[in-house]
Amino acid sequence: MARLAEGRSVRDGPTLSDAFGDQGFVFVSAYLGIHLGRTLVMALYLRGTPAWRRPVRGIVWYLLSATVWFAGAAASGGEARVLLWACALAIDYSGPVLGWPVPRLGRARANEWHLSGEHLNERYRQFIILALGETILATGNFYRLSTRDLTDTTAFLLTFWTVVFLWWTYFYRTTSSLAVKIDTAVDPYRLNLRASYTHLVMVAGILLTGIGGELMLKEPDAQRSAGNVVAILVGPLTFLIGRMIFEIWVFGRLTRHCLAAVVACLILSPVAARLPPLAVGLLGAATITVVAIFDLTHRARIAGEVNPASAGDAPRRHPA
């Protein structure tokens, strides 16, 4: 089933860029084909077992959202398609929150799920790696098609620098103990659900960072709109908000320097609208870099608290 999904994704991947054009039905068919096909295979495999109810609930919910997906594909106006597809996404993402309630089958209960923290942790890492790689490749391709002068090179390097430190702040702060947290949680399903949605926010931040890099390459000089300039800062800001919510929901803690960075970005947004795009890109890169530096100092402080022994604490020899 995984190979079929991969093949369908590779075949229909090019239609994503024209999903809001004349390829709407192809895009919807690919999306629903992957999800319905996966849940159908699971339903057939688990038939006759108590776990059979889980994929059947998913099939019912995907069939429900399919009507809205295809209605959006049939819509002639772009705004109508966006609205209908947003409603379809809301149905798909509200299903896990509500437990996919279906008449006669009820809703999914937390004790029905047997989750592996290590597996989920690795899957989330793969999502982030894919988003980071896609951002670098897309920005690199845009740079290849540019004039590649000093301004374009600076814009590309700023985007690359930001992506590198997004990678650092994620792998240092968010995944160090996620697997253990899921395995030891009283309600691992609910905890995993929170981790899933906050990872979507972080992935969106990474992809928006790539879009910001393309905007810097497209509009490096003063001829730009305020909205596009602010959009350059939205990527790092969205990622930091996702990381902050993730730490609060999953680990029950708030990193102060991350909160300070979010507040600083929000305060500086009106000022950023008046700055050149490269200056805004530098501001975003500097913000992520400062967060990474504070992460390092925080780790050093924690290590000092856990291992306070030093040369001065060594046993002293008493004279005979």
Q: Is 222 exposed, middle or buried (0-12, 13-18, 19+ CB in 10 A)?
A: exposed
Q: Is the pLDDT of residue 31 over 80?
A: yes
pLDDT in the model for residue 252: 87
Question: Is the distance from CB of 224 to CB of 275 less than 8 angstroms?
Answer: no
pLDDT in the model for residue 308: 43
Q: Which CATH architecture group holds 117-306?
A: Up-down Bundle (1.20)
* Token pair for 110: 């937390």
pLDDT in the model for residue 16: 58
Length of the chain: 320
Q: Is the pLDDT of residue 86 over 90?
A: yes
Q: 298 or 253, which is more confident? A: 253
State pLDDT tens for residues 106-135: 887 767 777 888 888 888 999 999 999 999
pLDDT in the model for residue 166: 94
Q: What is the DSSP string of 189-257?
A: HHHHHHHHHHHHHHHHHHHHHHHHHHHHHH--SS---HHHHHHHHHHHHHHHHHHHHHIIIIIS---HH
pLDDT in the model for residue 71: 94
Q: 273 or 157, which is more confident? A: 157
The domains of the chain are located at 2-108, 117-306
